[in-house]
Chain A
Amino acid sequence: MAKEYPGTPLKSKDFKKALKTKYTPSAEYAWSAGQAINSFLNGLKEGRILGIKCRGCKRILVPPRAFCEECFISVEDWVELKDTGRVNTFAISYLDTMANRIKKPIIPAVIEIDGAGGNGFLHILGEVDPKKVKFGMKVKAVWKPAKERKGDITDIKYFKPLKGGD
């Protein structure tokens, strides 16, 4: 099949001569946190992790939502969960948010919050040697001091290995 395929690759140096428009968009958004996450974030401000129980499927939903996507009914039964959990999965990232290389890695992890039947959320691990992170490792939230909390996911600084956990 001797087809001629269209397309003209440019070299890196050709591209330096490209027509560029640079602008810094003023992209600021004020989001309403909604019925469910609003309460979740307020809980974090108080140093508490809140879940919500669906009366249909009986799941404990965390992060909480105003409705269960499976049963498609409103959920209202708030439950306070422990601030401990287990590492469901993790990564050791040498990239920051903008993909810049970093020497000291960030360890993102999905934390299954205790009592939530395997449900949980994304956070960061701290006070741990990256080589020693294990699947299923018991972890505990390290909170910012109460007066520094503002109702944000970062009110938990990170999760650290729980002493005496396995």
Chain B
Amino acid sequence: MPRRVAVIGAGMTKFMRRAKETPKELAFEATRMALNSSGLELNDIEAVALGTAPDAFDGVHMKGEYLSDGAGSFLKPYTRSFVGGGTGVFCGAHGWWHIASGMFDTCLVVAEEKMSSAHPHPQGAFLTIFDNLIERNLGPNLVWIFALEMNRYMKAHDIKKEDIALVSVKNKGNALDHPCAQLGMKITVEDVLNSEVLAYPVQRLDISPTSDGAAALVLASEEVAKRVTDDPIWIEGVGWNVDTTIWTNRDLYYPRYVEYAARMAYKMAGIHNPPKDIDFAEPYDPFDYKELHHMEGLQLCKKGEAPILTREGVTARDGDLPTCPSGGALGVGNPIAATGVMKLCELFWQLRGEAGKRQIPGDPRTGVAQAWGDLMQVGTVVVMRR
């Protein structure tokens, strides 16, 4: 029987296009802030679960070990996990099992990403994701896979681009209230539809930016949590799942691996009716359609229904099922692994009632965060409760 695991502190840096700080300094700032908010000191921390994306972004081999001091890992049990864009939320599970297993009573969860170092654009670092034997010689671009998936999703449910653009409008708008946001702004559906076409159906304003940033959480066992805080937030469910890299043999209209990850987390958390039992969600939104795709994978609605809920305002911050109240990757920014932990921080702050101007009305009790990655094949899910 796993032990209960609490989140007792959270911290993050601003997300920005280019940070003056080094990756290690960014990790330190987020970790320091998380420790300060938890009331624990580094001496109290028994283990570190770090997440960060490919070394090629930074041009620093063994980037995890390089970052480790900044993540508070000096002379401590430390491991790095990596499941592509799914890494950040996976880190929540990675830290969770350190404590749930009984091995440790406290654990730092830290994620950092600096995408501004790769020149002229981190795009080049993504290309080796494509199959080296039968895809790369076709000269693919990373945006292709999103465009192919988005088009398939739109076709399967006869979804209009206008409805997908609403996600970008909502998330960038929500981000205006996030003090760390890189791209909080008021835009319209027309702005999205008139933005540059990169790879139809993907346009400029459908995409999250490249970003620098870090985010961190402090996790503790029930015993430690009850000693140091009156207001612990519990990690009640974790799930993860991976499909094959042979992505052309699955129907891209639906992320089955996200569904399986969600079902794993929901079973653990005793969630039987996700739309009713969950008060708000932070689905991964590197592209606007991905939020919708992921809401469906997360069982927050039926297949093809997410655009309708969005159009009806259900997913607005004051709606019945707010999604990305933080502003998401589209608005806060998308330093890959750090984005997932930013979403975990948002669950923590919302459930504690500490989300400031972003606070969801109605005293939310249960939130779910999710991330996604690799070759459209990984789903990672964390459920938190007050």
B residues 1-29 touching A (CB-CB < 8 Å): 12-21, 26, 29
CB-based contact B26/A98 at 8 Å: no
Min distance, Cβ B181 to any Cβ of chain A, angstroms: 10
Q: Which residues of B contact A109 (CB under 8 A)?
A: 148
Closest to A32 in B: B133
Give Cα A153 to B32, complex, Å: 50
A residues 62-94 touching B (CB-CB < 8 Å): 62-63, 65, 69, 88-94
Give Cα A141 to B319, complex, Å: 50
Give Cα A85 to B202, complex, Å: 25
A: interface residue count bin? 35 or more
Give Cα A10 to B16, complex, Å: 8
Q: Which residues of B contact A97 (CB under 8 A)?
A: 127, 139-141
Q: Which residues of B contact A61 (CB under 8 A)?
A: 249
Q: Which residues of B contact A88 (CB under 8 A)?
A: 152, 248
Give Cα A146 to B21, complex, Å: 55
CB-based contact A9/B17 at 8 Å: yes
CB-based contact A122/B248 at 8 Å: yes
**Which of A1, A3, A122 is B140 in contact with, Cβ under 8 Å?**
A122
CB-based contact A5/B12 at 8 Å: yes
CB-based contact A29/B132 at 8 Å: yes
CB-based contact A153/B134 at 8 Å: yes
B residues 131-145 touching A (CB-CB < 8 Å): 131-135, 137-144
Give Cα A21 to B117, complex, Å: 10
Q: Which residues of A contact B202 (CB under 8 A)?
A: 91
CB-based contact B148/A110 at 8 Å: yes
CB-based contact B123/A98 at 8 Å: yes
CB-based contact A121/B355 at 8 Å: no
Q: Which residues of A contact B123 (CB under 8 A)?
A: 98-99
Q: Check if B201 is an interface residue, CB within 8 A of chain A.
A: yes
CB-based contact B133/A33 at 8 Å: yes
Closest to A117 in B: B249
Q: Which residues of A contact B199 (CB under 8 A)?
A: 91-95, 108
Q: Which residues of A contact B148 (CB under 8 A)?
A: 89-91, 108-110
Q: Check if A142 is an interface residue, CB within 8 A of chain B.
A: no
**Known contacts A63-B246, A94-B197, A122-B248: does B134 contact A40 (CB below 8 Å)?**
yes
Min distance, Cβ B324 to any Cβ of chain A, angstroms: 19
Q: Check if B149 is an interface residue, CB within 8 A of chain A.
A: yes
CB-based contact A10/B14 at 8 Å: no
**Which of A9, A33, A93 is B144 in contact with, Cβ under 8 Å?**
A93
Q: Check if B315 is an interface residue, CB within 8 A of chain A.
A: no
Q: Check if A42 is an interface residue, CB within 8 A of chain B.
A: no
Give Cα A105 to B198, complex, Å: 10
CB-based contact B249/A154 at 8 Å: no
CB-based contact B59/A91 at 8 Å: no
Closest to B36 in A: A3
Give Cα A105 to B201, complex, Å: 13
**Which of A6, A65, A69, A94 is B30 in contact with, Cβ under 8 Å?**
A6
Q: Which of A1, A6, A93, A123 has the most CB of B within 10 A?
A: A6
Q: Check if B116 is an interface residue, CB within 8 A of chain A.
A: yes
Q: B residues engaging A (CB < 8 A)?
A: 12-21, 26, 29-30, 32-33, 59, 116, 119, 121, 123-124, 127, 131-135, 137-144, 147-149, 151-152, 155, 179-180, 196-202, 212-213, 244, 246, 248-249, 251-252, 349, 354-356
Q: Can you name 15 A-B residue pairings with CB atoms under 8 Å?
A: A1-B355, A10-B18, A21-B59, A37-B134, A41-B134, A63-B248, A65-B246, A91-B147, A92-B197, A94-B196, A95-B141, A96-B141, A97-B141, A109-B148, A123-B138
Given contacts A37-B133, A93-B200, 12 further A-B contacts (CB under 8 A): A1-B355, A3-B179, A6-B30, A7-B212, A15-B116, A65-B246, A93-B147, A94-B196, A95-B141, A108-B140, A110-B248, A135-B155
Nearest 5 CB-CB pairings of A with B: A91-B147, A7-B14, A6-B29, A7-B13, A93-B199
